[in-house]
Every structure is written in structure tokens, then in C-alpha cells.
Amino acid sequence: MKTYHLELNDVDDIIPELANHFGTVYQEELGEYNLGIPASIGEGTISVINFPNGIGLHTYQCTFKEDTQFILYHLKVKPIRFIYCLEGVITSDFGNNQDTETLQNHEYLIAAPKSDETHNLCIPGNKEVNLCYLEIDRVKFQEYFSFDLKDLEPVFFELFSDTKAGTRISEKSSFSLKTAETIKEIKNTDIQGFPRINFIGAKALEILSYMLTQFKKGENSSDTKKLKEKDIKAIEKAVDYIDTNISNTGTVNDLAKIAGVNTNKLQEGFQSIFGKTVNEYIRDIRLTRALNILSAGNKNVSEVVYELGLSSRSYFSKIFKEKYGISPRKILARRTVNKKLEEN
């Protein structure tokens, strides 16, 4: 097993430290760090961005040639991590195999080492892993609150009040597809520059909100527990098809056949997980994509309508304004003005 010992003084140290261990370079823009995995080690990327509210978003989409362990030790910050495994397998422990947990697809772990402990993450070799975790500096996060920490519900007070890391935390459960879809939105966004940083920051808070809500409800009352495992996989298959075929998703009947369930079961699953019908879900995915494309400023409204598989420009403008409170034309107009200001 290849092991990387990372002693970190600051939350922004992890990518520079990894680059040093890997013998490669990294890129940084507006506080977003990106590191490509050298071919001698594997392939893929690791990205990290930290926000002033104490939340850091870490994403790993990579494959290592051999079993790889990251031993994380923060000299100053005592973080809590919300770890989400979208694909592959990852193992978490705190040294000496204490509280070892193995995460697979659609499982999450809330983890925090005690002050004198390391947090160890192990990724098996030759297997792709798609991992996302929020790392929260509990001191900074408390400063972000507009209320006294003692006003928090007890279940959350216990999570965030232990700023000196006197207690180890290791709580595993499954997570909803809503969380996975929000992570996909971050990965798929075309927004660049400062708007991108704000977009990712908002989505990181959205992910945290989903996870805290589910943590409070408890594992047995999560949305996905109301469905059979095979039905969840069918819905996930439909979601993946929609994501990759947004311009031509077909009818609900077509999607049900692709997913391998009947139409009623598919509709019930989407209502249970997303709180929407299948067509409402497709509409919202299209509108989110449209906002990203228009904000990037590389295509006009007609091109966006065509790319998303819509037949009516007027209908698109109508539903876009209903959702965002602004017309697509105004999004483009503002982007044009911003470009001219940047050029000047």
C-alpha cells in the first residue's frame, strides 16, 4: 500500500502537500485548487476549495495503480468531515483500525478524529473512486452563525460545538439521490471565474443542508429507505440516462423501459426522492443547464433551446423566468456587459 502522511497547518495546504508527494504541480484560481494525478501513480483529478464560512469542498475522481492511503492530521484546525461516496469504495479509520468504516455507492460518513488522532482514508488500487466530502472548520463555522451556538438543536450542537475535538465521531448511513444530483451540478457547471466560486459555495451549503436533515431524521427514515434497493437502482439508472441525454430524453414510458420498471413505479420513485414528477425533474435539469450555459456567455438563447431539446423558444423563456425571475435575454445581456468591463 502507498501511504501519504499529510500534516496540515492550514486548510489550503492539502493540495500543495499532495502535489509535493506526487512530484507534480497544481493549479489554483480564485481559491480553487486542482491537482492532476501523475500517470506514474494513476489518473484523474483532486479538487479542493475552501470558503470563508469554514466549509471546504473536496472532490476526488481518480484511479490509483495500487492501494492508496491518505493519513490526514491537522495541526491547528480540528475539522469534521461529511464524506459521500458516489462511486467505488473507500475505507475510513482513525489509526489502529479504530472505528473502521467502508463506504460504497450512495453511502456517507460523518467523521471527526479526536485531537491527537489522524483520520485515514484508504482507496483500493485499480478501482475508480468518485468521492466528495465537506470538511468543516468548526470554529470558523460558528463565526458564520447569526445566532448563539447554544440555540442549535441538541443533535447539531453535539456535532459543531466540540471545537477542541475531545470526542471522536463516526456515523455511517446512506444518502439520498438529491445529494448526488447536487454534487453532479457542481461537476457539470460551465460557470467560470468569480460566479463559479459563488455557485460552488451555494451548492456546498445545499449539500450540507441535505445531509444534516437526513442525519437528524435518522437512517431508517431517509427517503430512500421507503423504496426497495432495486427500485432505487432503477431510478438512478433513469437519472443517469437523463443527465447524458438531456436533449432527447424520450417519454416517461421510454424512461421506465430503460430503467426496467413500470411507469407508476418510476413516478412514485421520483416523487419520493425528488418531490417531483419525472417531467418536472427533466424540466428543472434543463433549466439548471440553461442557466449555466447562458451564464458562461458562449451561446445565444436559440442555441441553448436547441441543445436542451426544446421545441419552443417562447416556452423556454416563460419557464426560465418563472424559475429564476429573470429572462434568458437579460442573463445574456448582463454577461455581455461584464465581458466588456473585463476587456476594458
The pLDDT value recorded for residue 222 is 45
* Terminal Cα distance for the chain, rounded: 53
Q: What is the mean pLDDT of the chain?
A: 87
CATH of 2-218, picked from 2.60.120.10, 3.40.50.620, 3.30.300.20, 2.30.30.90, is 2.60.120.10
Sheet arrangement for strand 129-136: 27-29, 32-36, 42-50, 55-64, 129-136, 80-87, 107-112, 169-174
Q: How do the pLDDT tens digits run along the chain, 344 residues long?
A: 999 999 999 889 999 999 999 999 999 999 999 999 999 999 999 999 999 999 999 999 999 999 999 999 998 889 999 999 988 999 999 987 778 999 988 788 999 999 989 999 999 999 999 999 999 999 999 988 888 888 888 889 988 999 999 999 998 877 667 788 888 888 888 788 888 899 899 999 999 988 888 777 664 444 445 567 788 888 888 988 998 898 899 999 999 999 999 999 999 888 887 888 999 999 988 988 888 888 777 788 899 998 888 888 999 999 998 888 888 888 877 665 455 444 54
Cell of 3: 501511504
The pLDDT value recorded for residue 219 is 45
Tell me the Cα Rg of the chain: 21
DSSP of 128-146: -EEEEEEEE-HHHHHHH-S
Contact 136, 49 (CB under 8 A): no
Greatest Cα pair distance, the chain, in angstroms, is 62
Task: Determine if residue 68 is left, alpha or beta; phi over 0 gives left, psi from -120 to 50 gives alpha, anything else beta.
Answer: beta
What is the value of pTM for the model shown? 0.76
| pLDDT tens per residue across span 278-294 | 999 999 889 888 888 88
The pLDDT value recorded for residue 339 is 53
The pLDDT value recorded for residue 336 is 55
Q: What are the residue boundaries of the structural domains of the chain, listed by start?
A: 2-218, 221-343
Place of cell 475522481: 61
* CATH code assigned to 221-343: 1.10.10.60
